[in-house]
Structure 1
């Protein structure tokens, strides 16, 4: 990662803040109010820089390529969950072929004000720049849905524990207690991957596992890495009456899990349709989210 340099104009802005009349108490600088203003200003810069940084570094890669690259050579610790579908965490082998959202229910609680408040805790694994990327992803839901991610508070019984573990992964839907969302510092800190993993936590599976997918994509089983075939099993998914979406941030790209550089998925009937290239939630992703939680 490039070293962080102070951008032109920052020092000038800080000097301007120090000269603001509201910061003065008599003839002396009010240090507390000054430091508060500077902290708020620097925080906004971190968010701007984080967005620009991850946009540049992920410009050539789709979310599925980022996820595959980050998880390809992961070496999980003994206490980490099994992964299926590339980045979906499961607690036991019994969950491998079941969608927990349709078998047991997995929605987060909706409150009387119509909002879904989801506590989160970001561990101290991350730098300020990396935290800003995560927070940007969390905040992106509030402008398009009733989902409100908020910091963990004492007394919360269910929350997302956002950690840098081995690779990018999340459980599907509410699990109870603290549940890990792994965003490894080595390859997972992009806006698209943050949104992707949060959608898993909200209850969504990958687009290519939809129950109606055979009407929209053809799977070339012979091109799939042998021990990754199960990642293409269909699930009795909750499609919320929305169409199959080639532009979903949950759709993997056509070479996902290929063992021979040939496509593992091709759209039908038009094989030339672009798909699996999303860099953020699509309109259909947002529509499904709002329908699932009745926003």
Structure 2
């Protein structure tokens, strides 16, 4: 009998330990959701992602990417075809075009934290939320095209699924159409997220958000609005106006400036020949991004900044950096009204900052154009 009880309790302990282990495993395995461990790809063992179960949240500002810069690499051993690689690059460009986020190729020494687009056996399209530190993988083997990768990058930037908002029951109904797969037991993609974790950033429910999930396991139906009209909804292949607004709030994007990805272009300060902008203070950022192997030539075609108490360009100035952010080498700083000569980058990035503290006088600001070129 004693032997029976000993055997019984040993089995109980083993069952409990197995249950804990399985919970640990299923906590990582999320389909088209919020990320798994990285496992073997192409027969090569790769390290596990650290801190996968850490609190995933746009409420946690420590998980934002510093200055909106996201270093990346594409796993060329993952077997991506040309179309898949083009889709990855197009998705990154989409975020860059509409927001102040910028993606830069990862440098092994400069970038400790970065993302890696790759294949993951446990899921075909998935990502962590925010910057979890070190290398973090983004599975993009079956995301349904560019829109699906834009969605996953939204998670990388720091966004949850829109249909998991804490107030979502006021706007939508979720119908489960078939039994939930085991992988969803720990963290279902149709479970509401606590308001302590999910920050709506003061924006209304976005029926057109790229951050809706697209899987067959459930159906999302919009409820009637206060006017009795049922709104249209569905995840499109691009960012919505509210998606863009929320991102700019989350990363505190400057009110003026943008990222240029074309081979040539032109831009001006916001008050350039605009009487409605008089007596305004501005801080603007422009990024110009050429393809690898190209350089950038910037021509300042007009310059007229406020000079009072600014002889050393402290308060009103135009800065040009040889790179993608303010930590890059400073190529030049201008103020006053003397038009400088052309400025040329050493690489394929250029970062321009404009600061205007004018409050009483009218000044044009500046105008500029650029072009990219091969040596």
**Which residues in structure 2 correspond to 1:1-295 (within 5 Å)?**
82-84=28-30, 86-89=32-35, 99-102=56-59, 105-110=62-67, 116-124=68-76, 125=78, 126-155=80-109, 156-166=111-121, 167-184=124-141, 187-188=142-143, 190-220=145-175, 223=177, 225-227=179-181, 228=184, 230-235=188-193, 236=195, 237-252=198-213, 256-258=216-218, 264-269=219-224, 272-295=230-253
Q: Deviations over 1:159-211 (max 9, x none)?
A: 01110223000000001001000111xx3261101100000001101011001
Three-state SS of the structure 2 residue aligned to 1:281 is: coil
1:71 aligns with none
TM-score by length of 1: 0.61
Q: Secondary structure at the match of 2:63?
A: coil
Instruction: Determine helix, strand or coil for the equivalent of 1:120.
Output: strand
Q: Distance in 2 between matches of 1:232 and 1:225?
A: 13
The offset of 1:252, in angstroms, is 3.1
| Per-residue CA distance 1:215-273 (angstroms, 9 max, x = gap) | 1012345x4524447322211211111110111111136x8414xxxxx4321116853
Q: 1:225 to 1:276 in 2, by over 3 A?
A: farther
Comparing both structures, which one devotes a greater share of its residues to strand?
A: 2
TM superposition outliers: structure 1 runs of 4+ over 4 Å: 94-98
Question: Whose helix fraction is larger, Structure 1's or Structure 2's?
Answer: 1
Q: Secondary structure in 2 aligned to 1:136?
A: helix
TM-score, length basis structure 2? 0.49
Q: Give CA-to-partner distance per residue, 1:44-101, whole Å, 9 cap, x none.
A: xxxxxxxxxxxxxxxxxxxxxxxxxxxxxxxxxxx99823474211569x97795443
Structure 2 unaligned segments of length 5 or more: list them.
1-24, 38-48, 254-375
CA 234–165 in structure 1, closer or farther in 2 if over 3 Å, else same: same
- The alpha-carbon distance between structure 1 residues 182 and 85, as it changes in their structure 2 partners (threshold 3 A), is closer
Structure showing greater Rg: 2
Go from structure 1 to structure 2 and tell me whether the alpha carbon gap of 1:213 and 1:189 turns closer, same or farther (over 3 Å shift): closer
Determine helix, strand or coil for the equivalent of 1:181. Answer: strand
Does 1 or 2 have the higher relative contact order (CA < 8 Å, sep 6+)? 1
Give the paired residue count. Answer: 202
Deviates more, 1:187-196 or 1:143-152: 187-196
Change (3 A) 1:86 1:137: closer
CA contact (8 A) 2:35 2:127 kept: yes
**More displaced stretch, 124-133 vs 153-162:** 124-133
Structure 1 unpaired stretches of 5+: 1-78, 111-115, 259-263
- Matched-pair contact (CA < 8 Å) for 1:106–1:203: yes
